[in-house]
Chain A
Amino acid sequence: MSKPVLQIEKLSKSYSLGKRNVPALSNLSLTVNAGEFVAIMGPSGSGKTTLLNVIGCIDKPTSGQVLLDGIDVSKLPENQLYKIRRDKMGFVFQTFNLLPYLNARENVELPMEGRIKSKSERKKRASELLALVGLSGREGHRPQRLSAGEQQRVAIARALANNPAIILADEPTGNLDSQNKQEIIKLLANLNLTQGTTIIMVTHDGQAAHHTERMLLLKDGKIIKEKEGTHLMKKNHKCPHCGSSIQMSDDTCHTCKKPIYSSDEPFSA
């Protein structure tokens, strides 16, 4: 029913460190459908960020194929790739990466600059996006006047600016306290649910991973395990424990009184 937005076929990527060739990804295949919320987990050095960079067209694969919305991006030159990044991708960084001398609205407008000519249209869309992430009224504030959680919301609004096919989030909760962590992960889940945005998230945080619908474990450049996340249940309004009906806003099941999200490490050995 839903069509694949990302198809990776036999992807390999290696870096040359002096004379040695260090493989980061080997023969990896992955398909992500439109509207999916995927978490990529794995220990340090397992190739998570490399995979995200290749998907995001900011790194080139050594071999294999990456189809984004049907376009083979593995062979495109840089002067084409920036358009793919601008039009098809939205990046959310661990350290937010907002420009400090621009206010919230101007930061959100940045990716639109090459696409939307009318300044007032850009302004309008940026304000709408800020409202969507719960920051209406904060348009004129510079990053230094926003909390870490608020800065990440601005970054998410910026990622949504050009209506991207995929949002790539690299440890989006890595620099946040537990409360902000919860809010950001719920915001992403909510965007996925209500806007149908495809999200691929790299994370160390098992709790955050449970909020997705599909969890992948990466090791030595390969996907070695895959699990269903709780988010899928929520999409279907079913409690993962007793199967009774639940609401989107619920954190605990009304019937069995168990917390809906597990706090276990999803891939604990």
Chain B
Amino acid sequence: MAIMVSIPAGVLANQQTANNLATNLSNTITQTGESINQTLTQIDCSLASGLSGFGFNAPNITIGQPGQGSSQGFDPSQFGGGGTPGQFGGGTFGGGQASPMNESLYTDINSTLSGVAAVEPILQASEGSNQTISMMGRSFTSLVTEYTIEGIPLTSDLIDNYNILTTNITAGRNLQAGDSGVVLLSENNSVYFGAGVGDTITILDQTFTVIGIHGTSSVSDTLTLYMNLSDAQAVTNNTGYITSIRVFASSSDVVTQVASSISSLHSELTVTTGQERLSQLESLQSTYNTSLSNAQASVSQTEATAVEEIIVVVAATSLIVLFVMLYTVRERTKEIGTLKAIGFSNLTVMGQFMLEGILLSMIAGVVGIAIGTIAAPTLSSLLLPSINLFGSSSGAVVTRTAGLSSAVTLNPQLILLAFGAAILLGTLGSLYPAWRAAKIRPAEAMKYE
């Protein structure tokens, strides 16, 4: 009975986990798509390869590739040497970070190329820490971003004409041209720093005033705090360095042409247009979809196993009741014979033994549910295959906010169901023994041992 309540509890927890994951992934995909569509004229340039630095390094999702950890910047030893441009020394950071580049080397993009309307140099740096996240009995050590600083040039030309600021302000005000010494926090940042509008926060020994709070407008900004580029460069000890350049083409028709001009001018840069980002999004989406279908396959495998196990348990339970009751009937042949000789009907005798079997199962049910309540997490992890949400090869996607580790708990419906099953199994297992009891000839009472 303990097993009978633990297995469905485990399955429910797995389903919960998979559902959480599915919701998260689909939100992520939608939000990323929206933010890309808004910025079709944008061309992102950076030194990093891969998806990083193109606005895809969603701070709440760290994409880790265990096999390549060090080359992706997961190795804490690479960081924390305060002097290296693009990094700051407080904690471990850098997951998905673009490599820093010297700002002065790229002024020629604006001055020499045609079709370029504006250039926005950006410095992005993340502060994070190693965290152990346990999920369905497995634990992952993963670098988790606490917050990401994004320094953007606060000039009236860029702010007025281009879509460089986040638009979803939930408290206080947005950044303005010429702002310095102020930050715009995300809602998550506000919780992390414990600061609201007007409060002062300290980032690497420098204080900033919180000027406003922004809500989420794309996946990439839930942990991002915005400040003036020069402030960001100063606070992270990266004066003169940036991590990416966002080039605005004069129209969407010339985007491709501008992108190829930038590539030929600076071959070291990875240049990505909105179009390319879309196709990257699609590949990301397919990764997510793989994760999702892995998770679903895992859940359905768990369910199949659970069904098999429950069938075995149910069969075993009925058999146990059957044999116990058969033994009881055999042991009490003389008593049954006596009852029949002194005038008990077959029906009464049968009812008596049915009742006994059902009572037995009910007591077993209560004890089993009590044990199951305590042992459900252990039992279900022992009996069910550990859920593998992400396949085995592609690493782990860990979301911080979703609360993936749904606990294995018993809900009242499950307990009621298990109790109902106990009574049903007791009835089934007692039927034949009770019938046997009813068929005992009263003359058996005359025999003596």
Interface residue ranges, A against B (CB under 8 Å): 49, 52-53, 56, 58-59, 78-79, 82-83, 85-87, 89-91, 93-95, 97, 99, 110-111, 114, 158-159, 162, 170, 175
Find out whether the CB atom of A85 lies under 8 angstroms from the CB atom of B342.
yes
Q: Bin the interface of chain B by size.
A: 10 to 19
Question: Which of B346, B441, B445 touches A82 (beta carbons < 8 Å)?
Answer: B346
- Identify which of residues 341-383 in chain B touch chain A, using a CB-to-CB cut-off of 8 Å: 341-346, 348
Q: Which residue of B lies closest to A53 (CB)?
A: B443
A114 and B448 contact, CB distance less than 8 A: no
Nearest Cβ on chain B to A169's Cβ, whole angstroms: 11
B434 to chain A, nearest CB (A): 16
Q: How far is the CB of B159 from chain A (nearest CB, A)?
A: 91
Q: Which 9 A-B pairs have the closest CB atoms?
A: A86-B343, A58-B442, A97-B338, A95-B448, A82-B345, A111-B342, A85-B343, A58-B443, A91-B341
Chain B residues contacting A90 (CB-CB under 8 Å) are 342
Sample 20 A-B pairs with CB under 8 A, ordered by A number.
Answer: A53-B446, A58-B441, A58-B442, A59-B443, A82-B345, A83-B343, A85-B340, A85-B342, A86-B343, A87-B343, A89-B343, A90-B342, A91-B445, A93-B446, A94-B448, A99-B335, A110-B342, A111-B343, A114-B343, A170-B446
The B interface, classified by DSSP as helix, strand, loop or mixed, is helix
Chain B positions near chain A (C-beta within 8 angstroms)? 334-335, 338-346, 348, 441-443, 445-446, 448
Residue ID in chain A nearest B348 by CB atoms? A114
A91 touches B342 (CB 8 A): yes
Beyond known contacts A56-B341, A59-B443, A82-B345: 18 more, CB 8 A cutoff: A53-B443, A58-B445, A82-B343, A82-B346, A85-B442, A89-B343, A91-B341, A94-B448, A95-B334, A95-B448, A97-B338, A110-B339, A110-B342, A114-B343, A114-B344, A158-B342, A159-B342, A175-B448
Residues of B within 8 A of A91 (CB): 338, 341-342, 445
B103 to chain A, nearest CB (A): 94
On chain A, the residues within 8 Å of B442 by CB distance are 56, 58, 85
Complex Cα–Cα for A110 and B443 (A):
18
Q: Flag if B448 contacts A58 (CB, 8 Å).
A: no
A91–B340 CA distance with the chains assembled, in angstroms: 11
Residues of A within 8 A of B340 (CB): 58, 82, 85
